[in-house]
Structure 1
């Protein structure tokens, strides 16, 4: 492990016992220096702006459930070179992944032994923080989700390209929340005509109900686009 010159550290945790433990760990090593100890996400951002630490040890849940995540995002904006290591009492996959999206470099359980905490500090200082298994799995899942969404999107546009202008207009009205009778009135046609066009839509989309089609459009974030088609 590379020993850098003095590493300036900011602690942010609303629990005094946790702050004191981290303070003892930091003070036990010669080249680590505690520059401030914050009790909230707000204080963490304020102290970081003033002290400009190299490392922030940030609790996730302080004055609110995601106070640490929000604070990390703000610190990353004003001090992009400051490395943030997130501390947590439970491994909530979604919260931890959300934290990484703010620019943090590592996360640890609060109960981690002294040696692991020091290793995380030095790794962050040397830009060598590991991608821990929980994050690697979340990244894999996200790429799989994106790939599935892209494939679904391509399939969807192929269907759209094969719709008649009338079917496209009916789809737009369905996405606007109108029922068959209301669509018929809006289109100034017989309800039977709308029923035939909806039947054709169901066949082309390979769905059993118009609700399924609308859900598809919504999940692909195309609801507004379909509404704007004229």
Structure 2
């Protein structure tokens, strides 16, 4: 299924996809609000989704699919947006792939087949940026990965994920241990976790705490 508000782009993408063996476009949509019904009716194996749609974001449409009553088809984002914020937001929304419009036919076909088969795929430049985002400047990225956290809470979360106890974190940040405990409490509340182990697991799932 293709979700994009530009008819000419949809037509061209459909032609490119259906020129390949084993790929059929079973549905098209141009608005977020049309996506759930179209998916329920046509049951596509995957959805190729634009980020910017007339009535909202493809991110919201992706989140709605993930929260729906039926198993959601995997989503490949195919968009003009190539900024880090959009990329991370797409990952958080549950997208299994992210390509920037302008990708070649073979790259798009490979991405569609990979995502439909249950894999994840990103353009070469996107993959490099994901690695940089998750491996470098960890505290700044923690704030992007967990937007509800303050900069200091993101810093504390990274140190927690690296295995430091509250006393060592207090020494590292040159603050009182009580202050660290307060930060940890707020982190638990914002991440909806009950234990330190759960917080560490969430952080490490997003690439924090490995340095």
TM interval, shorter chain, is: 0.5 to 0.7
Tell me whether 1:149 sits opposite 2:156 in the alignment: yes
Q: Show the counterpart of 2:18.
A: 27
Assess, with a 3 A threshold, how the Cα gap between structure 1 residues 80 and 95 changes in structure 2: closer, same or farther: farther
Q: What are the superposed Cα offsets for residues 55-96 of structure 1, whole Å, 9 maximum, x if unpaired?
A: 1000000125x5100001111222545110001113011012
Structure 1 pair 98–159 and aligned structure 2 pair: CA distance change class (3 A): same
Task: Name the counterpart of 2:67.
Answer: 77
TM-score by length of 1: 0.59
**Secondary structure of 1:85 counterpart:** strand
1:38 aligns with 2:29: yes
1:142 shift after superposition = 7.9
Count of equivalent residues: 159
Cα distance between partner residues in 1 of 2:136 and 2:52: 25
Among 77, 83, 96, the alignment partner of 1:86 is 77
Residue 159 (structure 1) aligns with: 176
User: Residues of 2 paired with 1:142 and 1:49: CA distance?
Assistant: 41
Q: State the Cα distance separating 1:149 from its structure 2 match.
A: 2.4
TM-score, length-scaled by structure 2: 0.64
CA contact (8 A) 1:72 1:103 kept: yes
1:137 aligns with 2:132: yes
1:57 matched to which residue of 2? 48
Cα distance in 2 for partners of 1:73, 1:142 equals: 28
Change (3 A) 1:157 1:35: farther
Give 1 or 2 for the bigger CA radius of gyration. 1
**After the TM superposition, which parts of structure 1 deviate over 6 Å for at least 4 consecutive aligned residues?**
none
- Determine the structure 1 residue equivalent to 2:58: 68
Q: Give the match's secondary structure for 1:57.
A: strand
SS of the residue 1:31 aligns to: coil
8 Å Cα contact 2:65-2:72 kept in structure 1: no
Alignment of 1:1-230 (within 5 A): 10-64=1-55, 67-78=57-68, 79-130=70-121, 132-141=127-136, 144=139, 146=142, 148-150=155-157, 151=159, 154-155=169-170, 159-161=176-178, 221=186
Question: Alpha-carbon deviation of 1:148?
Answer: 2.9
The 1:50/1:141 distance shift into structure 2, 3 A limit, reads: farther
Cα contact 1:49–1:75 (8 A) shared by 2: no
Q: Alpha carbons of 1:140 and 1:52: their partners in 2 closer, same or farther (altered >3 Å)?
A: farther
> In terms of mean alpha carbon deviation, does 71-80 or 95-104 score higher?
71-80
